Amino acid sequence: MAGGAGTPQLVSVIAPCRNERAHIEAFCASAARQQLPPGWQMEVLIADGASDDGTRELLQRQCEQDARFRWLDNPGRIVSSGLNRCIAAAQGAVIARLDIHSEYAPDYLAQCIAVLQQTGADNVGGPWRAQGHTPMQRAVAAAFQSPWVAGGARSRDLGYEGEVDTVYLGCWPRATFAHFGCFDEQLVRNQDDEHNLRLRRAGGRVWQSPLIRSTYYPRARLGQVFRQYQQYGYWKPFVIARHGQAAALRHLVPAAFVLALMAGAGLALAWSPGPLAALLLAYSLLLALAIAGMRGVGPGVATRAVAVIAAYHLGYGWGSLRGWWDWWRHRAPQSRWGALTR
């Protein structure tokens, strides 16, 4: 990542967005506060997917006020095409993805650069830490961090440092994209998982460091969470099938649970409600364990978290079944599974 003598290093921040009027100014302020290492400069590239809620006008104003910011058109309107548009226009030796719905520690980019230099990894990032403002959003964040929802994913482990299979957002040496390619624009969701999988299968390394700190603000309504996880579940089979990758157990359990519920309901109608009742009892115990493991959560948030966890599991499970069904029938991924969930 070394540059020529007297030439400041440049880190390119990339961020796709669409219809983010309520959040884009706070994001730009968070990005503008980044404190870079000596000799480094920053550019911020924001790919707008044809926003029609006033986001674009706010972006234009930000770019006029701060020459470090540029906005680009993203006619594809999805995350993967927006990321690729930014990567093509980026000039930095390091490229770091940021999300519009997260806030970043002032040294976020500095820590990304340091970890890249220390580890020689092809992609680095921090843990996926969620918080909320409203009671429902706090319940979504609490469920998000629960191991009963994350399934043991290292990206939700706030203290873990080391190699991981995928990482929140990501920061790459520019050469990573030359060696391993950019994001798959056929994927509306899970494009980051697929890119990290492709990177690791080709011998690359993904590294997580708790020193890279950010805070993610999740969806604030239960219906949005359900639709979001339906989409995650739907797109996962296409990633698995494309690479012939054996799915991790945490990717299969929600679909197995939904299948079991459907089978139990069928048995209840045709024979006995016993199997369905036993399954629901076992799931109620799991929910109780998940809630008991949440620290610093009041009764109101805990009650909401029960519904949120169920929305995670049922949404992801049903979405996975629909994704496998379309894949088995050799159907292309359906565009309706990529609609905005905020």
In DSSP notation, 113-144 reads HHHHHHH--SEEE----B--SSHHHHHHHHHH
Domain with CATH 3.90.550.10 in the chain: 9-219
Q: Average pLDDT in the 194-217 region?
A: 93
What's the confidence (pLDDT) of residue 245? 67
pTM of the model: 0.85
Of 242 and 246, the one with more pLDDT? 242
What's the confidence (pLDDT) of residue 218? 87
CB-count exposure of residue 175 (10 Å: 0-12, 13-18, 19+): exposed
Q: Is the dihedral of CA 238, 216, 35, 15 positive or negative?
A: positive
CA neighbor of 316 nearest in space, from 79, 155, 166, 143: 143
What's the confidence (pLDDT) of residue 7? 38
What's the confidence (pLDDT) of residue 4? 37
CATH of domain 9-219: 3.90.550.10
pLDDT per position as a tens digit, 305-331: 999 999 999 999 999 999 999 988 888
Residue where the block lists tokens 């930000």: 62
What's the confidence (pLDDT) of residue 299? 85
Share of the chain above pLDDT 70, in %: 94
Alpha-carbon span 206 to 9, nearest angstrom = 22
Residues near 312 by Cβ (< 8 Å), separated by ≥ 6? 143, 149, 225, 229, 254
Confidence of residue 340 (pLDDT cuts 50, 70, 90): low
Helices and strands per DSSP (H, E), number in the chain: 12, 10
What does each C-alpha distance from 55 to 46, 50, 77 come to in angstroms? 11, 9, 14
What's the confidence (pLDDT) of residue 119? 96
69 and 94 Cβ atoms separated by less than 8 Å = no
Core vs surface per residue 219-228: b (16+ CB within 10 A) or e: bbebebbbbb
Residues forming beta bridges with residue 125, ordered by sequence position = 208
Res. 81: pLDDT tops 80: yes
Q: Average pLDDT in the 289-306 region?
A: 85
Strands (DSSP E) found in 174-296: 206-208, 214-216
